[in-house]
Chains A and B, each alone.
Chain A
Amino acid sequence: MRIIVENLRREFGQTVAVNDVSFEFESGQIFGFVGPNGAGKTTTMRIMASLDEPTAGDVRLDDLSVVEDPERARHLIGFVPDELRAYWDTTVNDYIDFFARAYGLRGDQREQAVTSVEEFTNTAGIRDKQLRALSKGMKQRVSLARALVSDPQILILDEPAAGLDPRARIELRELLVLLAKQGKAIFISSHILAELTEICHGAVIIEQGRILDAGRTENLLARRAEKLTYALRALSDPELLQRDLLEMPHVDQPRQAGHEFQFEVKGAEENAFEVLNLIIQRGHRVIEFRQTKANLEDIFMNITEGKVQ
């Protein structure tokens, strides 16, 4: 299934929260949605989940328009908001069971679906606990279970990792990777960009309601990385190595980082080969030379200005 966001625009009075936003992704992919606070991420996601209506534009799931036919689209979409809504006197099992009923699941089918998502999200052990007694991480799992109970093909997650401890974050990430492998299209917004780089097939970068860039991660990196960063470990005098590096062509900003040196090489990868040759020619005993990968955080910092509306 292909999810196509077309020229989306959302105005709130005189404020344009989302301005001509277009991108697309497909089943089996995890797409990150990156932008500063107030960039229009939540608004876009709410429109994609049929919770809000755009002033103009459309979201299509293959040929199905979310704007024109939200009832049918809702069968295909699972939405995980940034926080669990107020169901303070409901148990985990009742909560998930309610949504299974709400999505039209009946009898054994419903019971199987509820048990299955509880096991998948590891919430079976807390099924009789009331929601108000849960930690943030557990609430996020319950929220994910709720979204998954109708077995949607598209999962939209708004800041699901916010407030989670490192273990919960890693577990959530593993769940998402597993879901993508099952063929679900996952669209996730997060402030923890390093994590997104690891699991995302692509990303959409937004600021002030406008798309700054979008596409597969490697394409984004290729487009945006003007300089490549390299790490070097050598059995040499660090001061001498730094001096030599500073004198070399194409090399920029050499600095010592722990046991290694890091520096940027302008231009194509051939220049890096040339730099390595020069280092060896100058008698440095190189034991490691590698390219350090740029991530979404680098791209994000590179192209956004941190402006909000």
Chain B
Amino acid sequence: MTKPAVQTGTGRWKRLQQFDVNPVWVKDLRQASRNWSVTGTLLLMLVVFYLISLGAVIFGEVGNRGANYLGPSIFGAIGFTTMAAAYVFIPIYVGVRTLMERISINADLQYITTMTPQKIIRGKVLSSVYLIVLFYSAAVPFLVFSYLLRGIDLPTILIAVSLTFTINVLLTMGAIVLALSPLHTVMKILAALTVGWSAISTGMWMVSLVVAGGAITRALTGTGFIDEFIPVVATYLIDFTLLAGLTYQAAVAFITPTSANRSLPLRVYITVMSGVVILQFLLWAWFEEEPAFTLPILVSMGLLAILGMFFCIGGRDDLSVRVRREIPANLLNRIPAFFFFNGTLSCLIWLLLLWLGTLFSVAGFHLLWEQFQSQKFINQDLIPNLYLGSSLYVLYTFAYALLGVWLHRTFFPKRTPKLASLFLVLLVILPFLFLIIFYFIFTREMIEEDWVLPGLVINVGMAMANDDYDDDERNLHLFVHLGSVLFLIMVALLLNFNWLKSQITQFKPYHRDERHTPPDPPPNLPSHELPPVIDRG
């Protein structure tokens, strides 16, 4: 009876012995340990720490003999140096390395091993986190030194470091995503500069907010610990996890071959994430009794839908054999699967449904608010502006996206599908630009803000921002746009009829026989000779 137990134990022990860390993690760390830039930056950072500490003690003591509270200033200087090194160097180092692996048509051979894309990205993230830990651990002795000099407490140090660390992880994961994204290298650099800079400055602002004036100490010891500190920390942790998950899923999707069903995990994740974010903002709005918290939901989900549609139509819209093999045979399962599988139409409709879901969530919340809260949710006259105004942007993008697809498929079917995304942008800008130019040429005047220009999405913004409008005028303007965008969508759907049909009909399970056609014999062979393909030697 004991024998199986022993075998199980041995089996577990063997499995434990066989356990191996992620190969990419090992490779990246080995490379980092041999890279002079990592060692050089780390040493430079330590030298600066040493000089700061030495300088602060020598010169601080002289100038501040009475107060003796050097902790905050040393903490600030060391923290800033750590952030400057880790926020800038690590994302650039990790991003450039990842980019080098993918830059040529012959992508690095690790991508054709049996490792899954998830495993590769996990390895990259793990090695990046390890590098960040290495940099922060180098700073810890100096931060402890700042605590010994008084003027700053341990919880503040702990929370500031945790905050900085998590932002650093997000920045580095963002760098991985950007390096793997199918953008041109120049675009990647521009995006890194703009997104990176704003993320770094936001991070620094958040850390300074936490450290300044003993805010953490007050939050921990005061009455707001349960009501404010815990919800804020919980919200931050949830958002950090969601964002880290999003970057992970995006990176995985970028290295997954286009022939695989790479949309599925990403779309499922974004759907769940959207639900959590909406719920989070609504809870904050409810408990803080602040309806303005619903605005970020509409703005962020609207942006997601618009950007998503822009990228969706730039991808391939035929389903590969690998994707079709995964399509459920059961019709009931196949219908929901359609929205999450690869495909341009499925992506457009999925984004439209996400937007509808957002609108219904906010509207449902609105109803609940009116019933249970004493304060007004929103001025009655502004309701069309809130729901209709935001929806018009999404609907116009949907219409332009369909027209972009039609232009590409009709006139440039052999060119890259990215042209469809370009057409979307041109449809937004060019008609409005031509109107302004021609009107100016003929009248020497600019167009008026209160002009109703159906079909032009920029005019929606003009109507919403027009201060001379009363609510009725604005609402009328927006309803005209609603009519025009619905008409545009109808036209685009009719133009795309064949494409829509093919998108739907191709979504059926794959049968091997469809592909299996016997190879043709090569030309110019005598009839009695075997064609090379069945040349058995």
User: Cβ of A23 and Cβ of B321 under 8 Å apart?
Assistant: no
Q: For the complex formed, measure the closest distance between the CB of A141 and the CB atoms of chain B, giving whole angstroms.
A: 16
Determine chain B's interface SS by DSSP, over half rule. Answer: loop
A20-50: CB near B (< 8 Å → 1, else 0) gives 1011100000000000000000000010011
Q: Do A67 and B321 have beta carbons less than 8 Å apart?
A: yes
When the two chains form their complex, are residues B112 and A53 in contact, meaning their CB atoms are under 8 A apart? no
B114 pairs with A104, CB closer than 8 A: yes
CA distance A14 to B413 in the complex (A): 10
B258 touching A101, Cβ below 8 Å = no
Q: Which residue of A lies closest to B109 (CB)?
A: A85
How far apart are the CA atoms of A99 and B100 in the complex, in Å?
A: 18
**B25-64 interface (Cβ within 8 A of A):** 26-27, 30-31, 34-35
- Asked if A250 is at the interface of the complex by the 8 Å CB criterion, the answer is no
**Residue in A4, A90, A101, A202 whose beta carbon sits within 8 Å of that of B537 in the complex:** A202
B288 at the interface (CB under 8 A from A): no
**Contact between A51 and B320, CB atoms less than 8 A apart:** no
What are the residues of chain B within 8 A of A53 when measuring CB–CB? Answer: 257-259, 320
Q: Which residues of B lie under 8 Å from residue A107 when comparing CB positions?
A: 17-18, 20
- B537 touching A219, Cβ below 8 Å: yes
- Chain A residues positioned under 8 Å from B108 (CB to CB): 85
Residues of chain A within 8 A of B257, CB atoms compared: 53, 70
Measured in the bound complex, the distance between the Cα atoms of B110 and A53 in whole Å is 17
B487-537 contacts to A, CB under 8 A, are 515, 517, 519-520, 522, 525, 529, 532-535, 537
Is A50 a contact of B30 with CB atoms below 8 Å? Answer: no
Fill in one digit per residue for A162-205: 1 if any B CB lies within 8 Å of its CB, else 0.
Answer: 00000000000000000000000000000000000000011010
Cβ–Cβ contact B115 & A102, under 8 A: yes
Within 8 Å CB of A204, what residues of B?
Answer: 532
Asked whether any CB of chain A lies closer than 8 Å to the CB of B23, the reply is yes
Distance, CA A79 to CA B112, complexed state (A): 9
Please determine whether B533 and A24 come into contact, CB atoms closer than 8 angstroms. Answer: yes
Cα-based distance from A70 to B257 in the complex (angstroms): 10
* Minimum C-beta distance from B95 to chain A (A): 15
> Given A89-B31, A98-B27, are A51 and B107 neighbors across the interface (CB < 8 Å)?
yes
Residue of B with least CB distance to A22:
B519
Is A273 an interface position by the 8 A CB rule? no
CB pair B529 A74 closer than 8 Å: no
Task: Decide yes or no whether A103 CB sits under 8 A from chain B.
Answer: yes
A215 and B535 contact, CB distance less than 8 A: yes
Q: Are B414 and A13 neighbours in the complex by a CB distance under 8 Å?
A: yes
B7 interface contact, C-beta 8 A? no
Asked whether B522 lies within 8 Å of A211 as measured between CB atoms, the reply is yes
* Central interface residue in B100, B415, B532, by most chain A CB within 10 Å: B532
Chain B residues whose CB sits within 8 angstroms of the CB of A6 once the complex forms? 517, 519, 533
Total number of A residues with any Cβ neighbor in B under 8 Å = 54
> Which has the most chain B C-beta neighbours within 10 Å: A6, A22, A24?
A22
Kindly state whether residue A213 has any CB partner on chain B within 8 Å: yes
A154 to chain B, nearest CB (A): 13
Are A99 and B31 in contact (CB-based, < 8 A)? no
Q: Does B322 contact A (CB under 8 A)?
A: yes
| Contact indicator A201/B537 (Cβ below 8 Å) | yes
Interface of A is mostly: mixed
Residue B113, interface by CB 8 Å: yes
Q: Are A86 and B100 within 8 A (Cβ)?
A: yes
Given A146-B109, A223-B529, also A103-B114 (CB < 8 A): yes
Bound Cα distance A71, B322 (Å): 11
Q: Does B137 contact A (CB under 8 A)?
A: no
A216 interface residue (CB < 8 Å to B): yes
> Which of chain B's residues have a CB closer than 8 A to the CB of A75?
114
Complex Cα spacing A214 to B533, Å: 7
- Please measure, in the bound complex, the distance between the C-alpha atom of A61 and the C-alpha atom of B416, giving whole angstroms: 32
Query: B112–A74 contact, CB under 8 A?
Result: yes
A51 in contact with B112 given A101-B26, A214-B533 (CB within 8 Å) = yes
Q: Of A79, A106, A213, which is within 8 A of B20 by CB? A: A106
Chain B, residues 363-399, CB within 8 Å of chain A (1/0): the string is 0000000000000000000000000000000000000
A 209-252 binary contact with B (CB < 8 Å = 1; else 0) = 00111111001000100000000000000000000000000000
Q: Shortest beta-carbon distance, A4 to chain B, in Å?
A: 8
CB pair A7–B519 under 8 Å, yes or no, is: yes
CB distance from A309 to the nearest CB of B (A): 15
CB neighbours of A67 from chain B (8 A): 259, 320-322
- In the complex, what residue of chain B is closest to A50 when comparing beta carbons? B112
Residues of A within 8 A of B525 (CB): 223
- Check B223 for interface membership: any CB of A closer than 8 A: no
In the bound complex, what is the Cα–Cα distance between A157 and B520 (angstroms)? 26
Binary contact track A102-123/B, C-beta < 8 Å → 1, others 0: 1110110010000000000000
Determine if B109 and A79 form an interchain contact, defined as CB atoms under 8 angstroms apart: yes
For the complex, is A298 an interface residue (Cβ under 8 Å from B)? Answer: no
* B325 beta carbon closer than 8 Å to chain A: yes
A71 to chain B, nearest CB (A): 6
Contact present for A81 and B106 (CB under 8 Å): yes
Q: Which of A13, A46, A98 makes the CB contact (< 8 A) with B26?
A: A98
Indicate the member of B107, B258, B519 with the most A CB atoms within 10 Å.
B519
Q: A51 to chain B: which residues have CB within 8 Å? A: 106-107, 112
* Alpha-carbon gap, A65 to B529, bound state (A): 28
Contact B532 A85 (CB under 8 A): no
Expressed in whole angstroms, the Cα–Cα distance for A85 and B107 within the complex equals 8
A71 x B114 contact (CB < 8 A):
yes
Say whether, besides A53-B257, A215-B535, A89 and B519 are in contact (CB < 8 Å): no
Residue in chain B with minimal CB distance to A130:
B34
The distance in angstroms between the C-alpha atoms of A79 and B17, with both chains bound, is 30
Write out the residue numbers on chain B whose beta carbons fall within 8 Å of the beta carbon of A110.
Answer: 20
Query: Chain B's nearest CB lies how many Å from the CB of A91?
Result: 8
A58 contacts the other chain (Cβ, under 8 Å)? yes
Interface string of B395-439 (1 = CB under 8 A from A): 000000000000000000011100000000000000000000000
Cross-chain contact B321 with A214 (CB below 8 angstroms) = no
Contact B532 A211 (CB under 8 A): yes
Chain B residues with CB under 8 Å of A85's CB are: 101, 106, 108-109
Residues of B within 8 A of A223 (CB): 525, 529
Knowing A14-B414, A89-B31 are in contact, say whether A7-B109 is a contact too (CB < 8 A): no
In whole angstroms, how far apart are the Cα atoms of A94 and B383 in the complex? 63
Q: Shortest CB–CB separation between residue B527 and chain A, in angstroms?
A: 13
Q: Chain B 312-331, CB within 8 Å of chain A: the 1/0 string?
A: 00000000111001000000
Q: Does A68 contact B (CB under 8 A)?
A: yes
Q: In the complex, what distance in Å separates the CA atom of A14 from the CA atom of B35?
A: 43
User: Given that A6-B519, A102-B114 are contacting pairs, would A90 and B533 also be in contact in the complex, using a CB cutoff of 8 Å?
Assistant: no
CB closest residue in chain A, given B318: A55
Who on chain A is nearest to B510 by CB? A68
Minimum CB–CB distance for A41 against chain B, Å: 14
Q: Which residue of A lies closest to B325 (CB)?
A: A68
- A12 CA to B415 CA, complexed, in Å: 9
CB of B27 within 8 A of CB of A90, answer yes
CA distance A75 to B114 in the complex (A): 7
Q: Does B532 contact A215, Cβ atoms closer than 8 Å?
A: yes
In the complex, 7 of the A-B residue pairs with CB atoms within 8 angstroms, ordered by the A residue number, are: A22-B532, A67-B321, A85-B109, A102-B110, A103-B114, A214-B533, A223-B529
The 5 A-B pairs of least Cβ separation, nearest first, read A214-B532, A101-B23, A22-B519, A102-B113, A215-B535
